[in-house]
Amino acid sequence: MTTTTSDTSVRDRITEEIRQRRRFVISSHVRPDGDAIGSQLAMAFALRQLGKTVRVVNSDVPPFPMLVFPGVSEIEVAQRVDDPGDAVIIMECGDFARTGVAGLDRGFVINIDHHVGNTMYGAVNWFDLSAAACGEMVFDLTQALGVRLTPEIATHIYIAILTDTGSFHYSSISSRTFDICRQCVEAGVDPPAVARSIFDSNNLGRLKLFGAVLSKMELDPTGRLATVWVDRALARDCGGTYEDTEGLINLPLTVKEIQAVVFFKELGPDEWRISMRSKGAVDINSVAAEFGGGGHKNAAGCSAQGTFDELTALFRRKIIEQIDKAAPLRT
Ligand code: 5GP
Ligand code: MN
């Protein structure tokens, strides 16, 4: 069952399912980002306001800058749950295996997401491609449930939107996005304080690592595709970690001519995690999907095996094809 915002029947079904149930487990995808954590915690605070019992369980720790926000430090990190409660709500996760948490499938699964290609793995599936962040959908749901927009809920919805739109950069933004943010600000969110915590809480190792990675950046001969990479040795030499590279991928796109970026992270011998970003009509989700990954048109990722040289050549060719499709080079 699928819906968009104009079709509220699935959302209304979810409000009914929630009203009838008492104990909830809320999960999201591996390596949760701001939209994952923000959506989960906004939902958790909303459900608690309704007198429900809620556990928030993820397979990986939250991004470090988020730890200052309400409820984040209480998120359980586990790779399995024995008791799925009366319902499991999975937020921001296109594919069930991507939760990285075993045992969730034994529960009544509610799937709430906005990623292209969501596999509709739930007993109820609410999929809205038009949402700029899953947090927008959670906002709608809390309103439909009659929940009061507390500063905690508003903060998490605002964080979800701020981070998943790339600080209000991406094409999925609509007037609804700003209307929701307006209501969050009226409910007590302080946008400069949130931005400082999320974007201006770096350690020095992270800044040095950004410098080292960017200094090794390569451009294709047309100057439209940037390739960057990191391995453990480079991270260690800078006093940083892989987590510290979060957000780095967006920097090459600030160059006017650069239309797409591919970022290779070495996980093990010939084992790579690949993140991609693009501008406008350049669809890199289709490239990620070919390798069993996914995401959105302008932000997607996947894993792949092979040597650095093989994989960079392969991905460069496929991404350039997409850049050409969006806007062929004039000769
Ligand atoms: P990132 O590059 O920041 O890891 O991810 C960018 C976007 O692509 C996010 O929306 C993320 O959920 C999605 N994504 C990244 N890696 C994968 C993957 O391996 N599988 C799927 N389905 N989506 C991914
Ligand atoms: Mn998202």
Q: Residue 254's CB: how many other CB atoms inside 10 A? A: 8
DSSP string, 275-306: EEEE-TT---HHHHHHTT-EEETTEEEEEEES
Which residue owns the Cα nearest ligand 1 atom 21?
Answer: 294
- What is the pLDDT at residue 7? 58
Instruction: DSSP letter for 210, please.
Output: H
- What is the pLDDT at residue 112? 98
94 C-beta closer than 6 A to ligand 1: yes
**Residue 95 Cα: closest atom of ligand 1:** 22
Q: How far apart are alpha carbons 276 and 299 in whole angstroms?
A: 6
| pLDDT tens digits, 201-226 | 888 999 999 999 999 999 999 999 99
- Residue 4 scores a pLDDT above 50: no
- Residue 159 scores a pLDDT above 90: yes
**Residue 285 Cα: closest atom of ligand 1:** 8
Q: How far apart are alpha carbons 264 and 63 in whole angstroms?
A: 19
Which residues have C-beta within 8 Å of that of residue 202, sequence separation ≥ 6? 244
Q: How far apart are alpha carbons 219 and 312 in whole angstroms?
A: 12
- What is the pLDDT at residue 6? 43
pLDDT, mean of residues 154-175? 94
- What is the pLDDT at residue 87? 98
Distance 152 CA to ligand 2 centre (A): 19
Instruction: Extract the tokens encoding 61.
Output: 């720790």
Q: How far apart are alpha carbons 323 and 316 in whole angstroms?
A: 10
Mean pLDDT for the chain overall: 95
Lay out the sheet containing 53-58: strands in order across.
76-77, 53-58, 23-27, 87-91, 109-113, 124-127
The pairing of strands 87-91 and 109-113 is parallel
Distance 326 CA to ligand 1 centre (A): 21
**Residue 263 Cα: closest atom of ligand 1:** 2
Distance 88 CA to ligand 2 centre (A): 18
Question: Phi then psi for 126, rounded to 5 degrees?
Answer: -115, 110
Distance 133 CA to ligand 2 centre (A): 5
64-to-8, 71, 97, 99, 200 alpha-carbon distances in Å: 35, 13, 24, 19, 12
- What is the pLDDT at residue 92? 96
Q: How far apart are alpha carbons 164 and 263 in whole angstroms?
A: 18
Q: How far apart are alpha carbons 29 and 35 in whole angstroms?
A: 10
The pairing of strands 299-305 and 294-296 is antiparallel
Which residue owns the Cα nearest ligand 1 atom 12?
Answer: 295
With vertex at residue 242, the alpha carbon angle to CA 157 and CA 275, rounded to the nearest 5 degrees, is 65
98 C-beta closer than 6 A to ligand 1: yes
- What is the pLDDT at residue 240? 86
pTM for this prediction: 0.89
| pLDDT tens digits, 136-155 | 999 999 999 999 999 999 99
**Ligand 1 pocket mutation, candidates 30, 112, 115, 119, criterion most atoms within 8 A of CB:** 115
Q: Residue 305's CB: how many other CB atoms inside 10 A? A: 13
- What is the pLDDT at residue 244? 87
Of 101-105, 113-117, 259-263, the least confident: 113-117
- pLDDT interval class at 2 (50, 70, 90): very low
274 C-beta closer than 6 A to ligand 1: no
- What is the pLDDT at residue 170? 85
Q: How far apart are alpha carbons 297 and 246 in whole angstroms?
A: 19
**Residue 92 Cα: closest atom of ligand 1:** 12
**Residue 275 Cα: closest atom of ligand 1:** 2
Host H or E run for residue 225 = strand 225-230
| pLDDT tens digits, 15-65 | 999 999 999 999 999 999 999 999 999 999 999 999 999 999 999 999 989
**CA-based radius of gyration for the chain:** 20
